[in-house]
């Protein structure tokens, strides 16, 4: 499937803007402050804020990598092709998620794997507590 250049131009612009936006957000959060307080309630509050911030940074840097990969794929002509099975990613999916690297089927498999990973992580955390 070959996307017409006007369509692709729009996507490229969306991706480029998204990359800049994510880049800026990540830079703003460069130093995740390690605040210290004698008050234990404050400590707990800081710890959960820190954890949330770390999780956001994780998610955003992951997304930024995907956005940059999608931009590279526009350059090399592989945009819109699933990196896993090499079938075409549906235009509807690309309209919603221009940085999607996987077709919906491969994405579902990947999500399932990740979910299982997250569950077993939760399990080990519970066991550790
Ligand atoms: Zn696929």
Q: Of 22-26, 73-77, 85-89, 119-123, give the lowest mean pLDDT range.
A: 119-123
Q: Are 83 and 101 spatial neighbours (Cβ–Cβ below 8 Å)?
A: yes
pLDDT confidence of residue 15: 95
Q: Please tell me the distance between residue 107's alpha carbon and the centre of ligand 1 in angstroms.
A: 7
Residue 102 alpha carbon to ligand 1 centre in Å: 5
Q: Does residue 121 surpass a pLDDT of 80?
A: no
**21 C-alpha to ligand 1 centroid (Å):** 28
**What angle separates helix 40-76 from helix 5-28, to the nearest 10 degrees?**
150
Tell me the CA–centroid distance for residue 125 and ligand 1, in Å.
32
């Amino acid at each position: 499937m070959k996307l017409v250049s006007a369509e692709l131009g729009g996507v490229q612009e969306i991706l480029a803007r998204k990359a800049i936006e994510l880049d800026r957000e990540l830079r703003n959060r460069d130093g995740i402050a390690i605040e210290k307080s004698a008050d234990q309630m404050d400590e707990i509050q800081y710890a959960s804020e820190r954890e949330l911030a770390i999780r956001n940074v994780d998610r955003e840097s992951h997304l930024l990598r995907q956005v940059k990969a999608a931009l590279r794929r526009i350059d090399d002509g592989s945009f819109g092709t699933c990196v896993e099975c090499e079938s075409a990613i549906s235009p509807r999916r690309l309209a919603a998620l221009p940085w999607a690297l996987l077709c919906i089927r491969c994405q579902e498999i990947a999500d399932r794997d990740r979910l299982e990973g997250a569950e077993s992580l939760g399990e080990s955390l519970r066991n550790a507590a």
